[in-house]
Amino acid sequence: MKRTIPKNALYAQSGGVSAVINASACGVIETARQARGRIGKVYAGRHGIVGALTEDLIDTGLESPETIRALRHTPGGAFGSARYKLSSIEKNRAQYERLIEVFRAHDIGYFFYNGGNDSMDTAHKVSEIGSQMGYPIVCIGIPKTVDNDLAHTDCCPGFGSAAKYVAVSTREAALDVASMARTSTKVFVLEVMGRHAGWLAAAAGLAAHRRGDAPHIILLPEIPFERERYLAKVQESVERHGHCVVVVSEGVRDTEGRFLAEAGSKDSFGHTQLGGVGPVIAQMTQTALGHKFHWAVADYLQRAGRHIASRVDVEQAYAVGKAAVQFALAGKNAVMPTIVRKSSSPYRWTIGEAPLAAVANTERKLPRHFITEDGFGITPACRRYLAPLIEGEDYPPYERGVPHYARLAGRPVRRRLRTPFTL
Amino acid sequence: MKRTIPKNALYAQSGGVSAVINASACGVIETARQARGRIGKVYAGRHGIVGALTEDLIDTGLESPETIRALRHTPGGAFGSARYKLSSIEKNRAQYERLIEVFRAHDIGYFFYNGGNDSMDTAHKVSEIGSQMGYPIVCIGIPKTVDNDLAHTDCCPGFGSAAKYVAVSTREAALDVASMARTSTKVFVLEVMGRHAGWLAAAAGLAAHRRGDAPHIILLPEIPFERERYLAKVQESVERHGHCVVVVSEGVRDTEGRFLAEAGSKDSFGHTQLGGVGPVIAQMTQTALGHKFHWAVADYLQRAGRHIASRVDVEQAYAVGKAAVQFALAGKNAVMPTIVRKSSSPYRWTIGEAPLAAVANTERKLPRHFITEDGFGITPACRRYLAPLIEGEDYPPYERGVPHYARLAGRPVRRRLRTPFTL
């Protein structure tokens, strides 16, 4: 009886990383290790798809079970990620052919691509081109984005932890400014991520448990910014509470659609690089109203803040990684595991699936009924949706006062192709 | 036999608050409650000395033991703080007399002032003026500052937790930028507090456990900033590690003593660059070297980050509050409890004392031998000093995904003076 040699797998991280993307990696690798005999080696692209294209692969089989387990509590992208979007097949077929060439050279039959909507598009195309080239490859997307803007899934792994970071930070900074307001700072502005969708800014609303609690104003990309209405709301809050806490999404635009903070530069996906709306808003407030202000820009701290990760988020990140491998073994292709909510209170969820073609390049914004009528806050419906996603803590182990995070050996797989590839 | 009615106590918070100043309040109040019969009521000034001057006092006796206990894990200033420095006695004697008048009206015999060096100066003066006015008052200072710049104490409660926040955040954000560096962000800049002393920026160095670990550059107020040397160091780090993590103190100055944050650099539209030194440094780096950057400004998040407080810091904050009351009961006056280090490894400490006159208005900077020769890092001696201060975690309880912090009733003490006081 002839025994089939199992195909190898390639796992790659893509786009902005998160506090729990490595938990998905852990789910993929641990599940694949349990399926020995059906899946061969698990390789990882060093810096995601860039490693795949340049044949720079890491053999995860050379990492100890303890190191792989530690990925579950390690933020960032342990294998390196990339902001590198493949062109359309029409424009640059060579890229896709190169990918298939690398897959063929390393006997890769499974491609697990862990990223946002751009990445789901890429995974979908790779699946199609493989068939066309006579090298069928199973492509499974694994959802990841702190922006929570993927369609067809109730939420995105990575979001819950960043959301928890934002809610906790808002609550803490609010206690600070409340202490100082009598003689000093009256307005505090926290800038959070969210280029097009206000999910993270909305999550700041979870800091409030009672009427009057901070944040007093949330500025969302979904609501065009009107200076006078905003300033009136700040003044009202200062008069009523003695201070005002503002949480602003980096993606806020004015009524003519211009970002309040244009950095001028664009990233490789052609998106404008944002950052700096926090100080713009704070300065505007002081100029108009005269209140002393402080501002913070959380930037990477919010999406790397594994020390304050949401337990629910960690569990879901692991679960989608695990499900990706199970889907592949079940013969599915060109799909992405999703989070399906069964109920909000008590919170119950399960894993579902969506075709990559449906997820690719779509974007889910905050629905209008999640935003209060005045545009400055979140509704009870939004709170019911968001609340379970930040539930529970999942503390990493500590060493000398700081979290002990995984350090990979990251040993390379021997190259088999003679042809170099230029990005 | 005549029983003496015990004098009341007044506790007030001063200056910028911290993650653990309320732990000191907890130490004061719990210790005073145990000394019933020797100390009467414990009042707190609403917004610190401002509450004392305006006779706006809170009766802490009306708070439950559970609420007082919860202060131990609650950041910010629970009674309100104030940035309000009393003038010299020569300039505004009326202020001091008013204080004594309020103390007399409420039978206050103990004044516990929880703050930095300005506050120690005030407490010292209050003690002197009380004697002069025939109303002797026991004045005990309680050290607090995230800046760690108080003299005569090995460290300052509040610093260890902010230091831990900075070290943890640096480690986490460094994993993020390392993931992104191949195709995107290569330079990450984190701005931390420290207007005059670089203790908090130095603490970022605790994120590194091995050679090459982030942060690669620490910019301290103690070292004048030289643009070309800095840029060369960034480039070296990017070439060696693929990326560069920079931690910059808000108080960094150029060789002519000007704050970099006030350098007045302009963006491409001719607008003066808003905000802090973090974005200034990041933009300067990109303009000169072309590397994509991200920056974060931690601001209040670092000093309010009770969720990631240092256990050692919490214990010391409580201990100085407790010691303040014990000192008062032991008949001491015009002193401040200090932290005395017995050994660094294993870390052992005890409570000492310093006269307020010695602590007042002094400032302790990072000594030169704590800074590497090139000025961009910390030495092993600095690491030995700092390491124990961020040891241990002390997690607050959580409710619906966010920390459950104390909410005081804050019931006012009935006014006894007919004269209002204008600040």
Give me the CATH number covering residue A93. 3.40.50.450
**B293 and B317 in a common domain:** no
> Which pLDDT band, with edges at 50, 70 and 90, does A419 fall under?
confident
Chain A contacts of B190, Cβ < 8 Å?
A: 301
Report chain A's terminal Cα–Cα distance, integer Å.
44
Cα separation of A268 and B108, whole Å?
A: 66
The CA–CA distances, whole Å, from B269 to A263, A265, A297, B72 equal: 11, 14, 22, 49
Residue A1 pLDDT greater than 80, yes or no: no
Q: Would you place residue A421 in the very low, low, confident or very high pLDDT band (cuts 50, 70, 90)?
A: confident
Residues of B in contact with A206 (CB under 8 A): 400-402
**A162 closest CA partner among B248, B166, B214, B176:** B176
CB-CB contact of A306 with A397 (8 Å): no
Give residue A2's pLDDT. Answer: 59
| Closest residue of chain A to B20, computed from CA coordinates | A176
Size of interface A-B (CB pairs under 8 A): 226
Q: Domain check: are A133 and A183 in the same one?
A: no
Judged by a CB distance cut-off of 8 A, whether residue B17 touches chain A is yes
A269 and A205 part of one domain: yes
Nearest of B120, B156, B146 to residue B360 by alpha carbon: B120
R_g (Cα) of chain A, nearest Å: 23
What was the pLDDT predicted at B222? Answer: 96
Q: How many CB atoms lie within 10 A of CB A1?
A: 2
Are residues A301 and B298, on separate chains, in Cβ contact within 8 Å? Answer: yes
Residues B328 and B198 in one domain: no
Q: Looking at beta carbons, which residues of chain B come within 8 Å of A390?
A: 401-402
Q: How far is CA A245 from CA A13, A181, A301, in A?
A: 35, 11, 19
Q: Tell me which residue range forms the domain holding A132.
A: 8-145+310-339+346-357+393-403
Is B141 part of any domain?
yes
**A residues 300-329 closer than 8 Å to B (CB):** 300-301, 303-308, 310
Note the helical H segments in B339-379.
356-359
* Same domain (yes/no): A16, A70: yes
- B204 and B100 housed in the same domain: no
pLDDT at residue number A275: 54
The set of residues, in sequence order, having a beta carbon less than 8 Å from that of B338 and lying 6+ positions away, is: B143, B152, B153, B154, B320, B351, B352, B353, B354
Nearest one of A309, A300, A281 to A393, comparing CA atoms? A309
CA-nearest residue to A168 within chain B is: B402
Residue pair B184/B236 in contact (Cβ under 8 Å)? The answer is no
- A303 lies in the same domain as A318: no
CB B59 within 8 A of CB B413: yes
Both B227 and B343 in one domain: the answer is no
Task: Answer whether residue A313 shows pLDDT above 70.
Answer: yes
Closest-CA residue to B186 (of B151, B222, B237): B237
Is B172 in contact with A75 (Cβ distance < 8 A)? yes
How close A189 comes to chain B (CA, Å)?
Answer: 10
In a domain, B417, yes or no: no
Contacts of B47 (CB under 8 A, 6+ apart): A182, A183, B56, B79, B80, B81, B82
pLDDT at position B271, please? 45
The complex's ipTM works out to: 0.96
Residue A265 has pLDDT above 90, yes or no: no
Residue B135, token pair as written in the block: 């109303």
Domain count within chain B: 2
Q: Residue A218 pairs with which residues in a beta bridge?
A: A247
pLDDT greater at residue A369 or residue A274: A369
Neighbours of B240 (CB within 10 A): 11
Mean pLDDT for all residues in chain A: 94
Residue A151 lies in a domain: no
Give CA separation, A20 vs A77, A169, A334, A359, B206, in Å: 9, 19, 23, 21, 23
Residues B276, B223: one domain? Answer: yes
Cα dihedral: B177, B183, B187, B189 (round 10): -50
Alpha helices (runs of H) in A182-241, residue ranges in sequence order: 199-203, 227-241
Find the angle CA(B301)-CA(B303)-CA(B307) to the nearest 5 degrees. 70
Give the CATH number for residue A288: 3.40.50.460
For residue B179, the one-letter residue type is: S
Residues of B carrying an active site annotation: 147
Evaluate whether residue A411 is within a structural domain: no
Residue A86 has what pLDDT?
Answer: 87
Q: Does A345 touch chain B (CB under 8 A)?
A: no
**Contacts (Cβ under 8 Å, ≥6 apart) of A48:** A12, A13, A14, A77, A79, A80, A81, A82, A84, A115
Q: How confident is the model at residue A422 (pLDDT cuts 50, 70, 90)?
A: confident
Q: How close B63 gets to chain A, by Cα (Å)? A: 18
Contact B401 A167 (CB under 8 A): yes
Q: What is the pTM of this model?
A: 0.96
B292 with A265: Cβ contact below 8 A? yes
Nearest-CA distance B75 → chain A (Å)? 7
- In sign, the C-alpha dihedral spanning B126, B131, B132, B135 is positive
Q: Which residue of A has its CA nearest to B392?
A: A401
Closest-approach residue (CA) in chain A for B206: A402
Q: What is the dihedral of CA B178, B181, B184, B187, to 10 degrees?
A: 80
Question: Mean pLDDT for each consecutive 10-residue tract of chain B (423 residues)?
Answer: 83 97 98 96 97 97 98 98 89 91 97 94 91 93 96 97 98 98 96 94 98 97 97 98 97 92 52 69 93 96 98 98 98 97 97 94 92 98 98 98 97 93 85
B376 within some domain: no
What is the distance between the alpha carbons of residues B110 and B112, in angstroms, rounded to a whole number?
6
Q: Is B287 on the interface with A (CB under 8 A)?
A: no
Tell me: cis bond preceding B143? Omega within 30 of 0 counts. Answer: no
Q: Which residues of A350-387 are buried (b: 16+ CB within 10 A; e: fewer)?
A: ebbbbbbeebbeeebbbeeebbeeebbbbbeebbebbb
What the block records as the tokens of B327 is 């000192």
Write the pLDDT tens digit of every residue in A80-110. Answer: 999 998 888 888 889 999 999 999 999 999 9
Contact state of B300 with A296 under an 8 Å Cβ cutoff: yes
Give how far A357 is from chain B: nearest CA, Å. Answer: 26
Percent of chain A past pLDDT 70, that is, above it, reads 96
Contact B175 A209 (CB under 8 A): no
Q: Which whole-number Å values give the CA distances from A323 to A17, A27, A140, A146, A318, in the listed order?
A: 20, 8, 10, 20, 9
Pairwise CA distance, residues A175 & B74, whole Å: 9
Task: For B191-236, give the secondary structure using H, E and C.
Answer: EECCCCCCHHHHHHHHHCCCCCCCCCEEECCCCCECHHHHHHHHHH
In A193-325 the beta strands, taken as DSSP E runs, fall at 217-219, 244-249, 293-297
Put simply, the chain B residues between 65 and 94 with a CB less than 8 A from any chain A CB are: 74-78, 80-84
Do B293 and B197 have their domain in common?
Answer: yes
CA gap B338, B153 in Å, rounded: 5
Give the integer Cα–Cα distance in Å for A25 and A115.
11
d(CA B70, CA A169): 18
In a domain, B375, yes or no: no
Give the distance from residue B136's alpha carbon to the nearest chain A alpha carbon, in angstroms.
29
Question: Is residue B165 domain-shared with residue B287, that is, in the same domain?
Answer: yes
Residues B15, B129 share a domain? yes
Return the axis-axis angle of helices A21-34 and A311-329, rounded to nearest 10°: 40
A413, part of any domain: no
Check CB contact under 8 Å for A295 and B308: no
The answer to whether the Cβ–Cβ distance between B300 and A300 falls below 8 Å is: no
* Residue A419: inside a domain: no
Looking at residue B54, its amino acid is T
Shortest Cα–Cα distance, A47 to chain B (Å): 7
The closest alpha carbon to B222, from B244, B189, B187, B195, belongs to B195
Task: Report CB contact under 8 Å: A179, B295.
Answer: no
Parallel, antiparallel or unpaired: strands B293-297 and B335-344: unpaired
